[in-house]
Amino acid sequence: MKLFLDTADVAVIKDMVPTGMVDGVTTNPSLIAKSGRNIAEVIAEICALVEGPISAEAVSLDFETMVKEGDKLAAIAPNVVVKLPLTWDGLRACRVFTDKGIKTNVTLCFSAAQALLAAKAGATFVSPFVGRLEDNGADGIGLLEEIRVLYDVHGFETQILAASLRNVNHVAAAAVAGSDAATFGADTFKALVNHPLTDKGLDAFVADWAKTGQSIL
């Protein structure tokens, strides 16, 4: 499963890239607004830092303007993925970009029926929002499992990009559910490596080694 950082903060990305685990980056209008910077400049910087797919979202709601915005975003760098909302206009725009050979990420997916439409529109990625579903009492991980079955049964090539993941358990569950990728914040990314028994084991190894008086170097 590919691991994407969900951020528009270039400093955060620079901090995480050396781990070798950042396969891509997702952004959205809220994250761009939080950065306080020009979207084209931010996306260009991110694309230079990370070779993998970088999602940049069109903000208009009508088909014609979405296509114009998507074309402009796609021109920033070869690894830009045009992010579009799961609406009829967004799906129409998705088909246009698919036919042009431009990668897309259809976002704000909350049902298997919506995921079906995204796949039929030729989306490269579909982004089911796990956390937001669970905030409303629904089974977010269950949706990932449904979409995995749906795509496998019908041979769709659209990749499942688990989004709105709030914690380490969400990430692990998304992987088990068969997601092709997952996107989440830097805090969750850093927390993936943590476990108290790992820390306890290391403390014991270090203490035992110190007793030997040896040095490997």
Residues sharing a CB contact under 8 Å with residue 73, sequence separation 6 or more, in sequence order? 39, 40, 43, 56, 58, 80, 82
Rounded to 10 degrees, what is the CA torsion of 203, 206, 211, 212? 150
- Amino acid letter at 114? Q
Q: Which amino acid is at 51?
A: E
Q: Are the C-beta atoms of residues 78 and 104 closer than 8 Å to each other? A: no
Q: Which residues are catalytic?
A: 83
Distance CA 75, CA 167 (A): 34
